[in-house]
Structure 1
Amino acid sequence: MKTSVQKKITDTFQKLKETLSLFPESDLNKVPYEGSWTAGQVAQHIIMADSGFPELFARKTEKTNRKPDENVKDIDALFLNFDLKMDAPVFLIPEKKEYNKNDLNLKLLKIESELLECAEKYDLTLISPDFQLPGFDKFTLYEWINFALVHTQRHTNQLNKIFKSLNNL
């Protein structure tokens, strides 16, 4: 399980880095269309949402009597439905400011490294009882990593749309 999770982490962040690299610094903070975030804001949102897993995993955990990936199908169905418009919770809305691509990349690299370390260090079959997404049961550590990855994939798709819009593709 650990090896396949680590491969998913590496693959997901590789695609994100490739997509973010498409943006010249001059386009990173351009609003592509009304109501959209900039590419810099999207990257910052990913950073905000995908940070803190080492702290979460180090907290109290509990054994479960269900499959450790039981919620994965529902998480994937929700977050990989690109036709569904979602609003970020207020605490995950990125600031409207000028973002620097190198700073964003360094923070994303740190998150990737932390997720890889968590996948190696922790028993991913355990439940984290201290935090819960609305509409879901308490997640196993495996499901939390999966959430981070599908959330990142969703916003990598959004970055591709922003790039196409800015470049009239």
Structure 2
Amino acid sequence: MITESSDKKELLTATEGVISQLQNLMSSINAHKINIIPYEDSWTAGQLFRRVIKSINGMSEAMKTKSKPADRGAGEKIADQKKHFLI
């Protein structure tokens, strides 16, 4: 389980696991259904999957780059992020 004290290696390993699970899920869906537009102006399951994977890969690459240590606590921004993303 990922916690505020998880290190980079744990996070990257967990991320790889999530990508694998998503790929298994998508491969189990009928190819025709992946490309159905559920309602006007919405994304198909395939488009959503592609965006999620791009986002996850981008975060993984950012975590692999050299950077200076953060000058704030690891969990300092969690409450703010929850307000924005977990409405």
- TM-score calculated relative to the size of structure 2: 0.62
The equivalent residue for 1:67 is 73
CA shift in 2, pair 1:9/1:52, >3 Å: closer
* Aligned twin of 2:62: 56
Deviation by residue 1:81-105 (Cα, 9 ceiling, x = unmatched) = 2xxxxxxxxxxxxxxxxxxxxxxxx
Q: Once the 2 structures are TM-superposed, how far is the Cα of residue 66 of structure 1 from its aligned partner?
A: 1.8
Given residue 31 of structure 1, which amino acid in structure 2 is its aligned partner?
I
Tell me the TM-score normalized by structure 1.
0.37
- Helix, strand or coil for the counterpart of 1:51? helix
Question: Using the alignment, how far apart are the partners of 2:60 and 2:21 within structure 1?
Answer: 23
SS at match of 1:52: helix
Q: Aligned residues: percent identity?
A: 26
Structure 1 counterpart of 2:3: none
Shift of 1:79: 2.0
CA RMSD of aligned residues (A): 3.1
Aligned length: 81
Matches within 5 A, 1:16-27: 16-17=22-23, 19-21=25-27, 23-27=29-33
Residues 47 and 13 (structure 1 numbering): CA distance in 2 closer, same or farther, change over 3 Å? Answer: closer
Q: Kindly provide the amino acid, as one letter, of the partner of residue 69 in structure 1.
A: G
Instruction: Show the counterpart of 2:38.
Output: 32
Unpaired runs of 5+ residues, structure 1, are 82-169
Unaligned runs of 5+ in 2: 1-5
Q: Which aligned segments of 4 or more residues in structure 1 are displaced greater than 6 angstroms? A: none
